[in-house]
Chain A
Amino acid sequence: MTPLTSQTLIEVLYLIASILFILSLKWLSSPSTARHGVLAGEIGMVIAIGGTLLHRGIVDYKWIAISLVLGTIVGVPLGMVQMTAVPQRTALSHAFGALCVTLVGTSEFYLRSPDVPRFMMSVLAIEVILGSLTFTGSLMAAGKLQEVLPQRPITYKGQNFVNLALLAVAIAIAAYIVVHPGAKTLFPAMIGIPLVFGVLMIIPIGGADMPTVISLLNSYAGLSAAAMGFVLDNKLLIIAGALDGSSGFILSVIMSKAMNRSFTNVLFGAFGQVQPAAEAGQEVRAVRTASAEEAAQILSAANKVVIVPGYGMAVAQAQHKVRELYDALTKRGVEVRFAIHPVAGRMPGHMNVLLAEADIPYDCLVEMDDINGDFPQTDVALVIGANDVTNPAARTDPGSPIYGMPILDVDKARTVMVIKRSMSPGFAGIDNPLYYMDRTLMLFGDAKGFVNNIVREFSGNHG
């Protein structure tokens, strides 16, 4: 094949891959077509990689083959992690993607310098700055999610100033290199500073903000890949990067809305610090409690039950017991649905995956906005391992740190039952007035054990 036609063939294959990538995301819109989407993405990927191997400049396939095999060996276990570990796996894959982009950008610079046109150099600077801060930022996020790093935000005085100053220095260096693309000795600083910035950026962010942070890093990873597409003049890469970037951006907007916070507030706010105001109302207030037997009686007398799962349920590995409860109630003709807050898990949509894994049908999983209107007609709202997303203070108390955050209106149900280990406040350290309401019954105990006891009451009655 002449060089010209092989180049054209590659472009055509890339075009087909782009179409398949877009279809892949389009088919993800509904669970019934979603798996076609994965298949389309896989075919597109094989076509694109196969086409790339035809590139006329490639003279040596040895290291390509070795690294493709190694990557597969690393990738398979990463694809087989438990569903509770998906958030940290995702953060880790953002780090890997950003690493790839940064390394390729670095090589391109040293191969081309000093003959780099200004526009090209600007894009290359964006590529490596975004890539390197996403790399360390995502590693930090993965570490926090895996709990090898402390989840509590670490803050110090002048933190935002230090971070912004670092970023400003990195941008200044980038601007200098754009004007003087022969400045090879400065290039390592343009990578090193964002690497440090990535670490410092995540240190002050608490575990509860992880859904937003993961989405934002997703967006950065996509944008850095798109920048790499500009540098390499590779349209497929630009398209894939733009798709990933916009996906991450949309998810970050949804997540920050769900927590009633702005991006800047997530990045610079350090949520979850000790709230001195909360100490004021520390008098002991009475709560009503109930046993598993009583809870089972109330549940079996209900027509409509809404279960509100939180991350605590997943931590206690209670989702399979919850499924048994769902089965027992459905068998008795009780209508059971699940109310899913957008930040119920550790990443967007995480709770749905955890419940789907426990074989709970997805049409019983209802998003916050769709179910909130139904709580007044709900006989029992059963809260398992969720706290702040059910806190009515977010609606009623302007002094509360979570005031304005959209919540599940659990307090409007006829009876509220909360399975909780103890009265200790939740992740954000905020007291929850829901627990002191007359219609609220506290079910103290481990989520898995307590649900199991309720289920046992049901089967006992049958036998």
Chain B
Amino acid sequence: MGSNLIDALFIFMLAAFIGFEVIRRVSPLLHTPLMSLTNALDAIAVVGAIVLVGERRSTVSTVLGTIAIVAATSNVVGGFLITDRMLKMFKSSRPGKDRAPSSGSKA
């Protein structure tokens, strides 16, 4: 048990550092989609609720877990949906330049 918790702390620490480094590089242009995307990813908490409901350990835990799944799933679905809708709207004034790095190698 003790070593599991220490492992978990290591994972938390490393993930937080990766988070800082990756998110620092996100352009301020995209801070709103960033927040809605991290929100959708954060709703991965749904997996905890799924196990809780599926194990059917008590009526209370099933009821609370069911509400939890509904709340988290709405974040997953709504979060990805709105993030994609927002990102779709960001267009460059130089349409060719937008894809240059990826399509350049193919051409």
Contacts and interface: CB of A to CB of B under 8 A. Distances in A.
Interface of A: 17, 21-22, 24-26, 28-32, 34-35, 37-38, 41-42, 44-45, 48-49, 52-53, 55, 57-61, 63-64, 66-68, 70-72, 74-81, 83, 86, 89-90, 93-94, 96-97, 99-101, 103-104, 106-108, 110-111, 117, 119-120, 214-215, 218, 221-222, 225-226, 228-230, 232-248, 250-251, 254, 340, 342, 345, 347-350, 352-353, 356-357, 359, 361-365, 367
B48 A237 contact: yes
Contact of B35 (A57, A215, A352): A215
B92 to A, nearest CB: 5
A247 B50 contact: no
A353 B88 CA distance: 10
13 contacts: A31-B87, A34-B30, A74-B78, A75-B81, A80-B82, A99-B71, A104-B45, A107-B61, A228-B45, A238-B15, A247-B35, A250-B24, A349-B29
Nearest to A218: B35
A150 B68 CA distance: 29
- Chain B, interface residues (CB within 8 Å), range: 35 or more
A34 B81 CA distance: 14
B contact patch SS? helix
Nearest to A370: B28
Given A38-B37, A41-B40, A75-B76, A25 B48 contact: no
A201 B102 CA distance: 47
A367 B30 CA distance: 12
A410 B67 CA distance: 50
B75 A247 contact: no
A contact patch SS? helix
Interface string B29-44: 1111111111111111
Contacts of B52: 104, 107-108
A110 B47 contact: no
Given A78-B82, A107-B61, A32 B101 contact: yes
B106 to A, nearest CB: 15
Given A229-B8, A234-B47, 17 more contacts: A32-B92, A52-B51, A58-B50, A80-B85, A96-B72, A107-B60, A221-B42, A236-B47, A238-B11, A240-B41, A244-B39, A345-B32, A349-B33, A349-B35, A352-B28, A359-B89, A362-B91
B66 A35 contact: no
B93 interface: yes
Nearest to A69: B73
B91 to A, nearest CB: 6
Contact of B74 (A22, A75, A90, A248): A75
Given A58-B51, A97-B72, A111 B44 contact: no
A25 B19 contact: yes
A356 B86 contact: yes
Contact of B78 (A52, A78, A225): A78
